[in-house]
Amino acid sequence: MNKKVSNIKWFIFGMCIISANVLAQTQPEDVALEKDDFQESYYESLIQKGIENYDKAIVSLEKCIKIQPDNAVIYHELGKNYFFQKDYQNAEQAFAKATQLDTKNKWYLIDLYEIYYQTKNYNQALSIVQKIIPLDKKYKEDLVSLYMYTQQFDKALVLINELDENVGNTELRDRYRLQITSQTKINSSDKNTLEKAIEQSPDNEENYLSLIYMYTDNNQEEKAFQVAQKLEKNIPNSTWAQVFLYKYHINNNDGNSAVKSLEMVLNSSKIDKKVKYRMYNEFLIFALKNPTFETELNKATAYFENDSEFNVYKEIGKFYYKKRNWDLAIKNLEKASNTDLETNLFLLASYEENSKFEILETKASELIDTFPNQPEYYFFAGKVSNQLKKYKKANAFLESGLDYIIDNVDLEIDFLNQLAEASKGLGNNQKSDQYLARASNLKTKQK
């Protein structure tokens, strides 16, 4: 929705056009009689509007209308003042009059459209936008939204396909497409319309995609697969065809075909990153079940190495951690960004599970130096020190870290249990019992 310009901008604009637009509409023989009164009233309206005295501006504009009752500029100005007062009914009447007097002025139509949009009169807004589009094609985007608001999904889908084909996809239109397919059920007329459109324009990718979405949302997977195959045949370089075919290759355990589809998608600038992330994660699972594709997995992983939005080694590390493959979890988590808390916690936990206590001790200490306010790092440092029987060091880490815990009762309990172990190791059984009692008290309060 295009935004209206500020009051001061309208004021400056109005000052510039007064001589050219307003006075030019006065008949020559009347200029001498009307010029002073008209010009004075018009200037006064601009000044009052500029300082937000809209009532006074309206009074001045009404004087102008008495002098020049067919002046579109004045009605447009009148509408803007009513609009700024949020008097949408009078604003609508004024803008409508301006558009009647000057049917080809884009800005008059846009302001009238703004009124209907603000008041959620979407049917009227739709009719105005259709008049704006021949003057400014950008408003086709607004037309898509209005079709959605008025539930004219068939028209919206046709226009979405047209815009995707001519100007490229947008996130909003993609959401609209998904909304349409989720809210409507496939019927023979929809299917026949799209199939006919594919026959008439086999190079229009969007029609295939719409039909695939329809079949998929109605659990007609085999038919969706057939359309995807047809899309690949008619448009061999279609990356969207590979997006849909990839799923079938994975399900059919056809790794070679899946790799070809994945490579084509990863190297395409047309496919959203979220789709690429999903496909990569699916291939990760597939490769773990089929180790012969580890080389291809490494190639796909390399694609995301410099992607700041997707910490690929973290995801692989987490996956191996959940599979209890500590060596591969550590190998990948060590490559991941060390500024991410979750990554570091998985790495420290992997060291512990793999009994790499010395490495864990060193890494936890380094993280404390880098992130001194993060209590989890103190916990791992204290816990591994206890495991290595370095009780004095454990106690120091744990007492320091305890001060940084905020609203995390479970973590506090873990700290207290480790402090109890460190105190016991130092021979202070009384203090150990006190820590255990505090931990038990917190557990009771949790219930």
User: 371 in helix, strand or coil?
Assistant: coil
Contacts of 105 (CB under 8 A, 6+ apart): 72, 76, 98, 99
Please, what are the domains in the chain? Answer: 1-157 (1.25.40.10), 193-226 (no CATH)
Give per-residue pLDDT as tens, 54-66.
899 999 999 999 9
> Between these two residues, 125 and 17, which has the higher pLDDT value?
125
**Range 122-149 burial, b when 16+ CB lie within 10 A, else e:** bebbbebbebbeeeeeebbbbbbbbbbe
d(CA 91, CA 359): 73
C-alpha span between 362 and 211 (Å, rounded): 57
Residue 11 scores a pLDDT above 70: no
Higher pLDDT, 158 or 125: 125
Least confident of 15-29, 35-49, 101-115, 399-413: 15-29
Contact 270, 243 (CB under 8 A): no
Q: Cα separation of 379 and 399, whole Å? A: 10
* pLDDT, tens digit (0-9, with 9 covering 90-100), for 321-376: 888 889 989 998 998 877 789 999 999 999 999 999 999 999 999 999 999 999 99
- Residue owning tokens 């447009």: 76
What DSSP string runs through 416-431? HHHHHHHHHHTT-HHH
Contact between residue 321 and residue 349 where contact means Cβ atoms under 8 Å apart: yes
Of 312, 226, 223, the C-alpha closest to 276 is: 312
Q: Calculate the dihedral angle through the C-alpha atoms of 312, 318, 322, 323, rounding to the nearest 10 degrees.
A: 50
Q: Which amino acid is at 255?
A: G
Please answer whether residues 374 and 342 qualify as being in contact, where contact means their C-beta atoms are separated by less than 8 angstroms.
no
pLDDT beyond 60 at 12: no
Cα dist from 407 to 402, 412, 416, whole Å: 12, 9, 15
With contact defined as beta carbons under 8 Å apart, do 52 and 7 qualify?
Answer: yes
Burial class of 387 by CB neighbour count within 10 A (0 to 12, 13 to 18, 19+): middle
Whether 447 shows a pLDDT value over 90: the answer reads no
- DSSP H or E run through 229: helix 221-234
pLDDT digits (tens, 9 = 90+) for 219-250: 788 888 899 999 999 999 889 899 889 988 99
Residue 220 CA to residue 208 CA, distance in Å, equals 15
Calpha distance 149→123 (Å, rounded): 9
Q: Which two tokens stand for residue 39?
A: 């010009």
* Structure token digits, residue 121: 């009169």
Instruction: Report residue 421 as tokens.
Output: 């172990």
**Which of 59, 125, 56, 126 lies closest to 88, judged by CA?**
125
pLDDT of residue 315: 85
Nearest to 78 by CA among 48, 105, 118: 48
Looking at residue 356, the DSSP 8-state letter turns out to be -
Query: Could you give the CA distance from residue 356 to residue 388 in angstroms, rounded to a whole number?
Result: 11
Residue of 182 and 304 predicted with greater confidence: 304
Q: What is the phi/psi pair of residue 402, to 5°?
A: -60, -30
Helices (H), 267-372: 273-289, 294-303, 312-322, 326-333, 341-353, 357-370
